[in-house]
Structure 1
Amino acid sequence: MPSIPHHQSRRIPFAQAAVAALAVTIALGHAQAQQLYRWVDDNGEVQYTDKIPPSQADKARARISEEGVQVEEVPPAPTEEEIQKAAEQERQKAEEAKRLAAQKAADERLLRTHKTIDDLELARNGKIAAVEAVIQMKRDGVRAETSRLLKLNDKIAQLKKDGKPVSDALQKEVDEAVVSIRNGYAEVVENEYRKQAIRNEFREIVARYRKLKRLPEPDESNEPVTSELRLSILVACKNAAQCNKYWERANDYVRSHSNVKTEVAGPGLLIGFAQDEREDRSLTLSWTQTAPNKPVHLYLDVQCKNRLTASLYCMNPTIPEIRDGFHSSLVRADDPQMRP
């Protein structure tokens, strides 16, 4: 192998070093050329700098290449309001995911538990029957309390007839009986609303079931559907003026179907009595309100007792008419609008 001349052995490393230095210089120049930023200052003026001032670090900016082409865009730092908004959106997203998961689980449970629409209707009827049993129990309690009130009133009438004073204790018993009767009917009304809530709940469940099963919608053209509780023997009122007007009309209605001479009246309570050759009847009108912020309801309860069989079923054919006519006798189309 030929030897390299002594003078050439020094020039080659120098040339290589020069080339390397030039490459580094070009690379550095290229890197510096790329570090050009375009941003807008607080005065709305566009600035071009190789560095972003620390005070402007939260501003939006774009990095420009040596050819003047935008190669990167950095959005502005989010504001506190934007951070809170993003957090709220994440919360809502998580809540929606949780709701969808719960709905899916409920749908699976619904399909697993009930095989047909008849199963759902059977479950609904069972729940309503349980509430009706509670209502009947409350009405039976009211019947017993009414009997006690009548005896107390007879005792007071006898004392007055004999010219004797009515003791505070006796009057207190009467007042307590009146309150007990009204409370009993308030619970009856609450349970009537529970029955309606069950109907509404199962109406939604059945609709969901039909959708999941892809069943056709039922024909309800002949059966009006309402989500509100509507009873002919129950009237709600909005304000004192309306309630007092309805109460006057309700008193007149009860007295038109009972014997005024034998009626029993108390605060928010009127009990009228009627009879025929087969049965004794009582018409009890109560003013019910479970709390000051709850609506007032006027409730009419008609109870019967057969003299021969002691049956509590009302046999007189006028009873359905009395029940059905109560609401319309209080709420009239020609009443002026009463604002709450």
Structure 2
Amino acid sequence: MHRKSCSLALILVTPLLLGWVQFAHAKKMYRWVDENGRIYFSDVVPPDQVQHKRETRNEKARVLNVVEKAKSPEELEQQKRLEALRKEQEKIIAKQAADDKVLLSTYRSVEDMNRALDNKLTLMTGEKAMLEGNKQRLEQQLLQQQQQAANLERNAQTVPEKLLSEISATRQQIEQNIQEMARYESNKQSVEKEFKASIARFEFLTQGNKAGQSNPINPLTDDAPNQLGLFTCKDAAQCDKAWKIAGEFVYKYANTRHDVDNEKLIMTAAPFNDEDLSLSVSRLDRAGVQEIFLDLRCKASNIGKELCNSEKAQSIRRGFAAYIQLQLASDQ
């Protein structure tokens, strides 16, 4: 029995030993594992083995490159959708970078920005005064027209069509004035909101992130897997709530510092070390449907690629939509 066990062990180990002997004489060697778990080393990959994940190693056995296993048609379609989502997110990231550049080149300090806001609001106050003056003038004009019509009626005279048309036109002008006042107030609120967001962003860019590192990564359950990391909103109100939850998710599972946080993009800093995992979410509007897309970034190194391809990283992507759904349900 002992002799039989030794013979079996030699059969399993011999291919590996032969591989290492070849390795010593080759400048480049491929390593792969087939569907049965057998490990191969060779300077040539046979055509019937190209579908497996393989490593390219140098004469010192250092990994130079990794080629992932061949994807199924379903995986290729999923990859196509994922790349499309990433392109949309990259546009948002590029716009944010451009906005940051303009912001830093336009203002020298927060005081400059506050002065610019004050000047903008002063100009808008003049616009408001003009609208209020027009309203008073139109209301006085309408009152005079109505009194003229009332006097004619008291004297049993027919009110001319021209006067009736003028009264109708004045009322329409007053209604337009009311709408312009509403637009003014909305515009003023938007200006103040945008300036406050820009000031906060300027402070972040010039003073750095004082919040420190975010929480370390924790494992997620694999309920309701979503391979794309995509949450589809039912409506705008739900998307507003989901966006806040998505931001919490990013800061909970990324391990790089905060970088961008606005209405379209929430992102942590780019990975610097092999162990860094950066997360980003973008709010997309595709054909009238609002979606929130999560993406992961790792350092462009072999270890970084392995991290992004790891089960831990993929479980974060798969758990994203389920996390939002769970939080939304708990808030009801």
TM-score normalized by the length of structure 1? 0.40
TM-score normalized by the length of structure 2? 0.41
Asked which structure has the greater CA Rg, the reply is: 1
Q: Which has the higher contact order (CA 8 A, sep 6+)?
A: 2
Which structure's residues are more often helix, by fraction? 2
